[in-house]
Structures are given as C-alpha cells and as structure tokens.
C-alpha cells in the first residue's frame, strides 16, 4: 500500500518537474531587476524574525508588492512562484488575487481604497539565493501565504502553505459561479460521504465548525490529542479517497518536493493518519463545515464558516519542516559562524 500511495498519487496531477536550481536562477533574475530602493524592501537576513511572520488576512506587511513592480518585475515574480508551486496551485493563487477586485466591488469601496487590492501581494527574500547557500522566500497577501526554504540545491519546505477564498463561490457579477477552491470542498465532502453511519460517528468530532482553521497563524502548528477516524478504520476505497485528498494539498507544490513530503507521510505510518470533520455535512451556503487530516508529519485543514459560510480557509502545515525547520536554521548559523 505504501508503494501504491507514492506511485499512484504522486503522479495523479502530473505536474512539470522543476529543480531547485531553477528557483535559484529565478530568484537571482528577480533580484537583478530591482533597484536599490526595491531591494531594501524585498531582502532580509535568513536568520531574522521576519521569516517567521505568517498571516493570511489583509494587514500591513513587509516585502515588495506587485503595485511597486513594473511588468518585467511582475513576470519575474510569477516565474519564481512557478518554480515552487504546482500548475494548479499557481492558477488558484492568481485567481485568489483577482478575487480582491470582486470583494472591492461587493463592499463598494472607492477606487483609491487599497484594503482590497489585487496588487497588494508581497515578495520577501531571506538570505542570498545560490546553489551553495541556505535561503528562502515568501509570497504572501490576503488569502495566500507560501513560505519556501532552500538548502543548497534542495527545496526543503514550502509551508505554511495557505490558500483562501472570499467569496468561496461568487454569487453575482461578471465572475458569478467562480469557485477557486472547489476541489478542496468536493473532495472533502466526498471523503465524508463515503463513510458509513458508524464511521461518521468516529469522524465527526463536533456538530459546529470552528470559526477558523485551528492552527490559525501560529508559529508552531500543533493540535494535541488528534481526533477523528483512523486510516486503518477505513476500507480500501475510502483509504484511496483520503490519500487523494492529501495528494491535492501536497501537490500545491512542485512534484519533486511533493514526492518528498509524501514519502515522509508514508514513512511515519499511514495507519497514524486521521480524518476529522466538524459542522454541517452537506455543502450548503450558510452552513459552516470544517475538516482536518492529521498525521505525525502533517496537518491539513479546511474551514468554511465566515461570511455566512461562503469564505474558505485552507492550509497544509509540515510538522517537521515548517519555515524550513529548526535543523535548517541551526545549519545556517553553523555555516555562518565559521
């Protein structure tokens, strides 16, 4: 079963293989286009506290925004993101950015009001990108946050990896019917609906969904005392559905990195995975729903409760390597102490 998981599910989305060396080049190319003032906003030390700032709400952030870039710089920024994300996640990210325009119209904000702003997404680069250095970078704004860390030629972390959508389903206007995180909703409900009544009793941990993802914006993603139904309590078809749901989130990243995460999830024991549900059991606007997949190395969360349950938050957290992990930071400090 472990081998089947790696072979079948790592190939399911068939993303293009991109090496970390391409990310290094893309980061260098992006930095090379920036002027001195832009570099002062975009560049940070790897071992500073700024690297651990993680938010998915519209707040003041550090880094350089798309509003401060020319067209060549914007293209280079998206190319850098393309070297770290799978094709579907890249497209979802771009669509989420454009939802800011939908929110601006729905909330009847003035043109010069930048609280909702499709250009207010930030890039911050930590350390010096090179094939022999430890470095990282962050792409973040309202409802998007990806935090990438590299060790020489290897991408070692892409988490926290957050995608959200407000509205979850656009109900009116030119983009009516748009549902950016449709797969996350449908596969989650599909997993729940595959369970028998007895299995649902073990999977459903609360009749009320939480107001947000439980890991929130915490520096350390930890949910003690895991609950929900165990992978070993599922039949083979249900197990495949759960693995498919995990695959959807892990393949937000490039294939090479996703394969590494899947191997760690498998090595930690598929039997230790749990699927938990809270809230309404059918997808209905106005009825909040939440699910979580948790194992020794990973937490995946989906929550749709805000704005009359038409506002989704979803995240994947790597319990060993979030923000690059403690070992990578220690390695960086040791290499710079010589």
81-98 mean pLDDT: 97
C-alpha 162/C-alpha 54 separation (Å) is: 10
Q: What is the mean predicted confidence (pLDDT) over 57-80?
A: 97
Give residue 65's pLDDT. 98
pLDDT score recorded for residue 331: 83
pLDDT digits (tens, 9 = 90+) for 104-159: 999 999 988 889 999 999 999 999 999 999 999 999 999 999 999 999 878 999 99
- Which pLDDT belongs to residue 180? 98
Give the mean pLDDT of 226-233: 97
Q: Tell me which of 17 and 49 has the higher pLDDT.
A: 49
pLDDT in the model for residue 178:
97
Q: Which residues of 299-325 are buried (b: 16+ CB within 10 A; e: fewer)?
A: bbbbbbbbeebbbbbbbbbbbbbbbbb
Percent of the chain at pLDDT > 70 equals 93
Q: Where are the domains of the chain?
A: 2-337
Selected residue with higher pLDDT from 11 and 261 = 261
Tell me the C-alpha distance between 65 and 63, whole Å. 7
pLDDT of 199: 98
Tokens describing residue 41: 């906003």
Kindly state the average pLDDT of the residues 202-213: 98
The whole-model pTM stands at 0.93
- For every residue of 128-194, DSSP letters joined together read ---TTSEEEEEEEETTEEEEEEEETTEEEE--SEEEEESSSS--SSTTTT--TTHHHHHHHHHHHHT
Q: Which residue has the higher pLDDT, 12 or 119?
A: 119
Q: What is the percent of the chain with per-residue pLDDT over 90, rounded to a whole number?
A: 87
Distance CA 148, CA 322 (A): 9
Assess whether pLDDT exceeds 70 at residue 8: no
- Give the pLDDT confidence score for residue 5 in this predicted structure: 44
Residue 20 banded pLDDT, cuts 50, 70, 90: low
**With 70 as the cut, is the pLDDT of residue 9 above it?**
no
- The DSSP string of 77-140 is HHHHHHTTB-HHHHHHHHHHHHHHHHHHHHTT--TT--SS-TT--EEEEES---TTSEEEEEEE
Nearest to 82 by CA among 139, 34, 131, 130: 139
Answer yes or no: is pLDDT of 1 > 50: no
């Amino acid at each position: 079963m472990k081998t089947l998981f790696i072979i079948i599910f790592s190939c399911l989305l068939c993303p293009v293989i991109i090496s970390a060396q391409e990310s290094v080049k893309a980061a260098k190319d992006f930095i090379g286009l920036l002027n001195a003032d832009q570099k002062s906003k975009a560049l940070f030390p790897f071992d500073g506290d700024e690297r651990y700032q993680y938010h998915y709400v519209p707040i003041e952030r550090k880094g350089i925004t798309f509003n401060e870039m020319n067209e060549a710089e914007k293209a280079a920024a998206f190319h850098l993101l393309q070297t770290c994300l799978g094709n579907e996640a890249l497209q979802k990210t771009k669509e989420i950015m454009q939802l800011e325009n939908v929110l601006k119209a729905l909330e009847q904000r003035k043109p010069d009001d930048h609280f909702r702003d499709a250009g207010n997404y930030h890039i911050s680069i930590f350390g010096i990108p090179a094939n022999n250095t430890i470095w990282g970078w962050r792409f973040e704004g309202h409802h998007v946050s990806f935090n990438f860390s590299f060790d020489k030629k290897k991408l070692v972390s892409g988490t926290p990896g957050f995608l959200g959508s407000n509205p979850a389903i656009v109900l009116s206007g030119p983009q009516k019917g748009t549902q950016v995180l449709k797969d996350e909703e449908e596969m989650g409900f599909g997993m729940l609906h595959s369970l028998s009544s007895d299995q649902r009793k073990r999977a459903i941990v609360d009749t009320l969904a939480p107001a947000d993802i439980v890991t929130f914006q915490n520096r350390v993603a930890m949910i003690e005392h895991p609950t929900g139904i165990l992978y070993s309590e599922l039949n083979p078809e249900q197990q495949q559905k759960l693995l498919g749901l995990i695959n959807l989130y892990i393949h937000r990243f490039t294939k090479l990195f996703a394969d590494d995460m899947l191997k760690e999830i498998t090595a930690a024991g598929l039997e230790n995975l749990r699927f938990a549900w809270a809230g309404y059991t059918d997808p209905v606007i106005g009825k909040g729903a939440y699910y979580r997949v948790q194992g020794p190395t990973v937490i995946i969360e989906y929550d749709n409760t805000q704005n009359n349950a038409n506002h989704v938050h979803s995240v994947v957290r790597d319990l060993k390597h979030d923000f690059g992990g403690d070992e990578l930071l220690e390695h960086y400090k040791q290499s710079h102490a010589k």
